[in-house]
Each structure stands twice: as structure tokens, then as C-alpha cells.
Amino acid sequence: MTKRFLSLVLAFLCGSFLTFGQERKPNVLLLMADDLNTALSGFGHPQCKTPQLDELAKRGIRFENMHCQYPVCGASRASMMTGLYPYTNGMLGNTGNLRENLPDVVTMSQLFRNHDYLAGRVSKIYHMGIPPEILAGTADHDDPPSWDETVNIKALEQNAPGVRTEWSPGDKGSQTFTGVEASTGDLEHADGMAAEAAIEFLKQNQERPFFLGCGFVRPHVPLVAPSKYFDIYDREAMIAPVVPEGDLDDVPGIIRDYKSISRYGVTPELHKGLLEAYYASISYMDAQVGRILDTLDELGLSENTIVIFSSDHGYLLGHHNKFQKQHLFEEATRVPFILSVPWMKDTHGEATGHLTELIDLYPTVAELAGLTPPKGLPGTSLIPLLKNPSTDKWSKDLVFTISRSGGESIRTADWRFTHWGFGKKGEELFDRKNDPGEFTNLAKNPEYAAKRKELKALLEAKRDEAGYDPAIYQ
């Protein structure tokens, strides 16, 4: 028997299980990874190993078509926590101030705080500069009204002792792919410290309903993890994404060379090491998730705690010969998302392929806790999918993501349409049913003129709904 299973049995025998509808309000535990694409074994990735998150998925629902609203940390996190599109809350990157834009906004955790919950934050929930703010132990872009208690993490990051390698030697910026096979243990690095702080929060706050946001910084660069997580992987066996020759020849020039492989100097051999370091960082983060979930079980809190796991956005690792974020390909917009509601056991372990967005989280957790969210939130409660992941009554038929350089994109079940420069700098049209890799841009193909026109109209209608104002953004 596993430690977690024994803990659950003990909690049951002690009569400490609580069910939804009893006097005790449900707790909320939000676990956030940073710069994580869907490289989880439970999401079908053939190489990355995430056993703890796979176990969480067995206790909830995998959302396999969840998309962010802006593939960069600050904008995406502010959107998720406010339940608002970036055009509405004015957070369009890693700069700006949410409270200056919307002084009276009630964020997701703030709603719970306003209803007698203890709201806590550990490490990165809103934007933080990584690695500088972990090195300094700060959180300059946090939103204080969202929390009662906060814990910032200070760690060595790329300065940790161990074997350090530059996997992208051509890039001299702050986001270069530095890998460190650290000689120190889990608790000497940022995510281990974050898990420890989250565990302490849980131990100290068992008697009061809580909303705890715990942010992990891996696999954001630098790719730092104890060496034992590197040992899980065979570097020479790492498989880089397959990219057709001339893949980017047909995409608009404004984005064609942005964060392309030529900037990073990643050779095929270096690419293997880069992937190993990225996956090792994920496995390290995954282990810290497991420690927190074990504590929930040991304290008898599991049956009354909603657990959410997500990343802020996707990430390119050589897909389309590009790296990192702020693109509008599928690998950048799609995020791994798991929602575990302990009393909705009938669908545990299942997955849904319906289109969903991170703004859907706010109305969902509010409804699960019996709270009334602010009026006008554009998201849709995910509860119908929690009850029946394959329901034919889910009405959301497109998701909307924006990015730098006036990039805007909609994703439907079978298509992706993207334009740049707010429609003035080029377009992309991908038939995802026949071209799931988004390799062939059909925007200029006359055979698809009607489909392009149809999707462009849908995008323009959605951008208006999302708060787009041409007087501000053009």
C-alpha cells in the first residue's frame, strides 16, 4: 500500500472525512507551475515523468484542451486570478499594476478572503521575475489585497552548487537555458522551499477554511534540480520536436524570427541536454506537489479540499524551430490543467477534450464553494464537465488568446486563426484536423477564403467581447 492510501484509510477510520454540503466550507489549494507545457506523463508525454501529478489526475479531471489568455507569466496569471481577459484588466505583459488599472477588482482569492477564508500565498502566483526575485526573495508584482499571509522564497537558483551547463550558448539574456545538476537536496531549492512553506501553512490552519496558492518556479529557467532528477533521464535518448523544412516560410514576418533557434545556438546535441534539464526540473517540481498532497492526506484535509494544478501558459522547446513563449501556436497557448473535487468521485480519473480557458476557473471554484463571483466575469463554470467530461451540452466553441505585436488568436475544435498587428501584419490559418502540428498556413490559399473570412469575423467579435479598444491598443 502507498503512504497516501494508508493516510486516506486512517482519515476515514477516524471519521474525519467531510463532504460537500456539511457545515465546514471546502478549502481551495491552487498549485501553479511556471513555463510548463503539457509535458506530463499523465497527459501522454512519452518521456517526461510526473508520477505525483498523474496520481492527482486520478483524483480529478484532466482538462486536455485548456488554453491561457496570454502566453506570458504576468498577463496570464493576472487574467486567471481576476477571471478577466487581458484587454479588460489591462495587464498585457509582465509590467503594469493590476490595482492601478482596476482599483476595485475582486480577485479569486480575495473573494474567498471576503467570505471568512484565510487566503495565503507561497512564492509565485502573480508575476515574479525569475530568477532575480528568487535570488532576492521578493515579489514586487504581487497583489496584497488578495492575501492574508504571504511567503516569499529565497534560493540560489543558477548559483547552486553542482554541474552547470549552458544549453543555449547563443543567448546571453536573462532567459537563457542554464541547467544545474545540483549537488544539494530538494529543500535547498526554490520549489522544495515552497512546498515546505505550504505544508507548514496546512499544519497551522486546519481549523479554518483556506484558499492557499502555492507557486512553483520550475520548469522556468534556470533549469535547476537536484542531480537525482537528472538521473531519471537518458540524455542521449531525448527526442526533439520534429519540424518540417521551411516550416516558418509561410508565417508573417513580424513573428517569423522571434525567439527562433538561430538566436539560441542550440545544436542537436545541446538540444538533448536542454530537454533533459527541462524534464528533470518538471520531475523535481512534481515531487514537491506530491509532498503537499501527502500532507493533505495525513491531516485529514483531502476530502474537503478542492485542488487545482495548472501552468500559466505553454512553452516551445524547439517546436517550429522556436523556444519559450509569446507565440500563438498550440504549444504556447495550451496548458496542463487538473481539477480535483473530492466529492465528485464518479468522474475521477477521466479527461475532457472540450475547449476551456483559464478564465473559467474563477466562476468554477466560486460555485463549488457556494460563493457569488463578481458580475460580468466572461468565463464559464466547468462544473458541467466535472459531472460529465464528455457532455454534449458544453457550449464553449472557441478560446481566445492574445500576445505581443498585436497577435490575436482563436482556437476552435478544428481550426486556429491568428493575425498579427491587430490584423494589419499578416494572418495564419491552420486546419488542425488535418494538420495538428500547425505547419501549413492556409491564410493565403484561395480554397480556404470562406473559412478564413468566417474565422476572422469570429475573432473580431470575440476581441470586442474581451474588452478590446482600438483607441488604446492600436
CA separation for the pair 179, 177 (Å, rounded):
6
- Residue for grid cell 488535418: 434
Q: List beta partners, residue 340.
A: 307
Cis peptide before 219 (omega within 30 of 0): yes
User: What is the chain's alpha carbon radius of gyration, rounded to the nearest angstrom?
Assistant: 21
CA separation for the pair 171, 230 (Å, rounded):
23
Kindly provide the b/e burial profile for residues 164-198, where b requires at least 16 CB atoms within 10 angstroms of the residue's own CB.
ebbbbeebeeebbbbbbbbebebebbbbbbbbbbb
Catalytic residue among 48, 68, 73, 214: 73
Element (H, E) at 49: none
Catalytic residue among 67, 68, 127, 320: 127
Greatest CA separation found in the chain? 68
Contact yes or no for 424/473 (Cβ under 8 A): no
Active site (annotated) includes residue 127: yes
Alpha-carbon dihedral angle through residues 442, 443, 447, 449, given to the nearest 10 degrees: 150
Residues 6+ positions from 472 with CB-CB distance below 8 Å = none
Residue 385 dihedral angles phi and psi, to the nearest 5°: -80, -30
Element (H, E) at 219: none
Q: Closest by alpha carbon to 26, among 298, 211, 213?
A: 211
Question: Beta strands 399-403 and 356-357: pairing type?
Answer: unpaired
- Residue for grid cell 463578481: 374
Residues marked active site are found at 73, 127
